Structure 1
Amino acid sequence: MAIKSILCHMANDDRHRDRLELAIQLTTRFSGHLDVLYNTAPVAMPAGAAGRAASNVFLAEQRDIAKKKAEAIRQELDERFAKVDVGHAYHQTEGDHVEKLAEYAHLSDLVIVSQAPPKGVTSNIALHHPEEIALEAGCATLVLPHEEEFWAPGRRVGKRVAVGWRNCKEASRAVREAMPFLLEAEDVHVFTEEEEAQSLKGVGIGRYLSMHGVKATVHTDIHDEGNIGEQLLTRAAAYDCDLLVMGAYSRARWRELLMGGVSEYVLHHLDRPVLMSH
């Protein structure tokens, strides 16, 4: 599957420039079109506020602040796009980040977002939950680590790719949607359990990738009794992979969240970009 339509989440947080630069880089690399979505949360009164006059003043101030932030972002985008030859469009919306991103993602091939900041880190916005975007987007979601030390802006993503594999629709879709990255990669490592590697009566993931022109090394040392998310991140780091491809799982979602599922763990402990598909 080609990556021709890319959607970038452009919020007023401290990593929005990094997302934009990667989005421009990937749009150029795959000869595509870039849609940039800036979304603002609806202005609302804080809990415990009293007095109609005071409330009106507060709401007016917050709307003015939101308008100025949006104008600053738009100016920043205009200045950046004036320096590059990239087909693009700007969209400004108001509402829930996940819902608005999902609406535009239905006609996108790739959505670029950032990992939610760690607890205790103040963000300029009520940041979305990237795992929810991966489940709702309807296309591949590329999640970037919040900490800059784990992903340097301007670095090429997909030089060495790690694939977390299990024989299910989510992982299968992730592999297909990541194919443009896999085909360009210098090195591809698949991490799975031994029985998964030879699934589908011997036609395993290694053979599937080979038929598509991707030469991959299949590692069968993932153990189901351990923390699979931790194992995937550890293996990806050991082989210096700059992109992890995996499925975003939602089966028995409440149970996965309570017990600490693979998707949840990876998204909370990101140390490199991850491409997820549901």
Structure 2
Amino acid sequence: MKSILLHVDSDSCFEARMQAALDLARAHDGHITCLQAVSYEVFAPGDFYGSALAAAMPQIKQNAEELRARIETDLANEDASWEWRFLYGMAETRLLDQSPLHDVILIGPHDVGEEGRRGPSAMAGSLAVKAPCPVIVVPGETKSLDASAPVLVAWNGSAEACNALRAAMPMLVKADKVFLLSVAEEKTKERAEFPASEAARYCSRHGVEAELVEVPRGDAKISDTLFSAAQRRECGLLVMGAYGHSRLAEMLMGGVTRRALSDPEMPIFLAH
């Protein structure tokens, strides 16, 4: 994780993900690209001539400059390599544009301007599926991203789970403990392409001795089961494959990714 792309915004979760980015950079001797995207799309019904946009842009620019000044002052006191990148446009689009030469993207749990709204972040889901690198969603309650803390890998034998495991390997090799956790379901066993034992062998080739854990399905949502299992094992990160079913199916019927992103209780590492 040498090249870290950090989404900069004025949301309440930014301090948490900036700290996570700093922890990640220190642990991997990495570099942080702070991406501040300012949208010029101001939606005002009936504003055919852009008068609302013209009136709003000076304040938008001033707010952006003040945020940058404050954050750069804070980063100047940190022992990590970083740079600032300012771009006009929607944050999701600009993060996706910049992702090909980054190892990981750090974002918050909410879409831009939608703090307090229940439901999964559309930006998180889109980046997890479209970006060529993994995404870490960092909730506002996160105090740090300790590289040595145990990591829980959600395992269902899917190609997405394999992709997430492989993408997370630079982090797994630094963790004190790695758990490969499967939620026991008959239908999961029937459709699993890669058993957990094979995933464990893959980890061992990288010097990671993963502990296999299977928990009963129970009555709780699978996402709640994963968070609970991770917290009991004092994990600092949950690794999971994103949108194993089609994105549309998860939007219509729900799904583990969608539910986990709706109320993340810890940093979530996503790859599709």
Please report the TM-score for the alignment, with normalisation by the length of structure 2. Answer: 0.85
CA positional deviation for 1:86: 2.8
Taking structure 1 as reference, are residues 222 and 256 closer, same or farther at Cα in structure 2, changes over 3 Å only? farther
Once residues 233 and 21 of structure 1 are traced to their aligned partners in structure 2, the CA distance between those partners, rounded to angstroms, is 21
Instruction: Indicate whether 1:244 and 2:238 are aligned.
Output: yes
Partner of 2:26: 28
Cα RMSD, aligned residues only = 2.8
Match of 1:37 in 2: 35
Match of 1:15 in 2: 13
1:170 is aligned to 2:160: yes
Aligned residue identity for 1:61: A
1:121 match? 116
Q: 1:273 aligns with which of 226, 251, 267?
A: 267
- Cα offset, 1:250, TM superposition: 5.5
CA spacing shift, 1:82–1:136, aligned 2, 3 Å: same
Aligned equivalents of 2:154, 2:44: Cα separation in 1: 43
What's the TM-score once normalised by structure 1's chain length?
0.83
- SS, match of residue 98 in structure 1: helix
Quick check: 1:192–1:220 contact (8 Å CA) kept in 2? Answer: yes
Change (3 A) 1:201 1:112: closer
Q: Which residue of 1 aligns with 2:71?
A: 77
Query: Cα distance 1:16–1:210, how it changes in 2: closer, same or farther (>3 A)?
Result: same
SS of 2:84's partner is strand
CA distance in 1, matches of 2:26, 2:195: 40
State the one-letter code of the partner of 2:174: E
1: CA distance, partners of 2:195 / 2:105: 34
Gaps of 5+ in 2: none
User: In the TM superposition, what is the alpha-carbon distance from 1:49 to its structure 2 partner?
Assistant: 5.3
Match runs of 1:212-223 below 5 Å: 212-223=206-217
Q: One-letter code of the match for 2:167?
A: E
Equivalenced residues, count: 263
Q: Once the two structures are superposed, what CA deviation does each residue of 1:180-236 show, in whole Å capped at 9, x if it has no partner?
A: 22111112211115648x965895222221222112211122539973323222221
Distance 2:196 2:266 in 1: 32
Sort the Cα spacing of 1:42 and 1:187 in 2 relative to 1 into closer, same or farther, 3 A: same
